[in-house]
């Protein structure tokens, strides 16, 4: 039997890291090689449920970020943006492909991703869910058909713990709309308050809600005087993002250097 693809998970103690580890435990193609909590340390215990359902001998631990990456075939990073440059530097040094799902990254980080992808293959997406990437594609199609006829609004709902707003997914939806309709950031507003002039026909509004334990709901609305089209995705389990992340890691096996997105992974 062929050897499994060995995956280092960076950000293993977070919600997504835990979900990815569970998906890897059930994969026929990939397996966990290291569970890295943060730069310079790894999770070494089983008592908190981080590796619930896994046996001790199924996990090979390392004592630092570089060793975890060098001993793996592929890397999945769902840590924090503050260590993204360190992760990319180690992946570049050891020529390891990497899936980046870290949220809230800056334009500087995006430039770093582009530069690093000239040396190694990278999948970057603000959302790894298969369904959300269908949402992206359907939004692009709807914008081409209805965009100049409709008022467009984006709604982004997440759990009360989420730090960045709007979400990376909402930002991606905005970017798709702006590119498809040849509009700019000057056409974008965030919420509404007070006495406002009549809505500009080219306006795109983003509304952010943070409450409860909502995993992630996104809707794009296209309103015309005669009808309304709503394109929605509602995540019911973080496993959906984890499944997509592992699929992306497996997509990178043997791939040429370059910057890929989930459209590439899913053949969209």
The pTM score is 0.76
Phi, psi (degrees; rounded to nearest 5) at 139: -65, -40
162 is catalytic: yes
Closest to 222 (Cα-Cα) out of 145, 166, 164, 163: 145
Mean pLDDT of 33-55: 50
Per the annotation, does 52 bind a ligand?
Answer: no
Per the annotation, does 258 bind a ligand?
Answer: no
247 is catalytic: no
- State yes or no: pLDDT of 139 exceeds 80: yes
- State yes or no: pLDDT of 218 exceeds 70: yes
Please state which of the ranges 2-16, 57-71, 96-110, 132-146 shows the lowest mean pLDDT.
57-71
pLDDT at 38: 57
Q: How does residue 13 score in pLDDT terms, banded at 50, 70 and 90? A: confident
- State yes or no: pLDDT of 49 exceeds 70: no
Mean pLDDT of 6-27: 89
* Each residue's pLDDT tens digit, 250-262: 999 999 999 999 9
Q: How does residue 63 score in pLDDT terms, banded at 50, 70 and 90? A: very low
Chain-centroid distance, C-alpha 217: 14
Per the annotation, does 55 bind a ligand?
Answer: no
Mean pLDDT of 92-106: 92
- State yes or no: pLDDT of 233 exceeds 60: yes
pLDDT at 37: 77
Thinking of the domain 130-234, which architecture would CATH place it in?
A: 2-Layer Sandwich (3.30)
Instruction: Please answer whether residues 16 and 238 qualify as being in contact, where contact means their C-beta atoms are separated by less than 8 angstroms.
Output: yes
d(CA 82, CA 228): 41
pLDDT at 62: 44
d(CA 156, CA 217): 6
Instruction: Please answer whether residues 147 and 181 qualify as being in contact, where contact means their C-beta atoms are separated by less than 8 angstroms.
Output: yes
Per the annotation, does 3 bind a ligand?
Answer: no
Task: State the catalytic residue, choosing from 51, 158, 172, 218.
Answer: 158
* Each residue's pLDDT tens digit, 140-179: 999 999 999 999 999 999 999 998 899 989 999 999 999 9
Task: State the catalytic residue, choosing from 4, 67, 109, 162.
Answer: 162
- State yes or no: pLDDT of 220 exceeds 90: yes
Q: What are the extents of the domains in the chain?
A: 5-128+238-266, 130-234
Thinking of the domain 5-128+238-266, which architecture would CATH place it in?
A: 3-Layer(aba) Sandwich (3.40)
Which of the pair, 105 or 189, is modelled with greater confidence?
189
- Residues near 135 by beta carbon (within 8 Å), at least 6 away in sequence: 173, 218, 220, 231, 232, 233
Q: Can you count the helices (H) and strands (E) in the chain?
A: 8, 12
Average pLDDT, the chain: 88
pLDDT at 191: 95
- Residues near 97 by beta carbon (within 8 Å), at least 6 away in sequence: 73, 74, 75, 91, 120, 121, 122, 123, 249, 252, 253, 255
């Amino acid at each position: 039997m062929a050897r499994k693809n060995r995956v280092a998970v960076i950000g293993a103690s977070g919600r997504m890291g835990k979900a990815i580890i569970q998906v890897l435990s059930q994969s026929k193609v990939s397996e966990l090689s290291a569970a890295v909590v943060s730069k310079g340390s790894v999770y070494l215990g089983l008592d908190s449920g981080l590796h619930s359902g896994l046996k001790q001998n199924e996990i090979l631990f390392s004592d630092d970020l570089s060793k975890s990456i060098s001993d793996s075939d592929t890397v999945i990073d769902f840590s924090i943006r503050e260590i993204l440059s360190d992760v990319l530097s180690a992946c570049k040094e050891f020529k390891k492909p990497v899936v980046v799902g870290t949220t809230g990254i800056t334009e500087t980080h995006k430039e770093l991703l582009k530069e690093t992808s000239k040396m190694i293959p990278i999948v970057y997406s603000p959302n790894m869910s298969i369904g959300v990437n269908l949402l992206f594609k359907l939004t692009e199609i709807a914008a081409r058909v209805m965009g100049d006829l409709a008022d467009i609004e984006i709604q982004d709902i997440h759990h009360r713990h989420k730090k960045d707003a709007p979400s990376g997914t909402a930002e991606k939806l905005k970017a798709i709309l702006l590119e498809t309709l040849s509009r700019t950031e000057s056409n974008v507003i965030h919420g509404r308050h007070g006495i406002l002039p009549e809505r500009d026909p080219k306006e795109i509004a983003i509304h952010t809600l943070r409450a409860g334990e909502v995993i992630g709901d996104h809707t794009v609305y296209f309103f015309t005087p005669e009808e309304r089209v709503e394109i929605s995705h509602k995540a019911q389990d973080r496993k959906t993002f984890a499944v997509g992340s592992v699929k992306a890691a497996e997509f990178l096996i043997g791939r040429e250097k370059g910057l890929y997105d989930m459209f590439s992974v899913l053949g969209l």
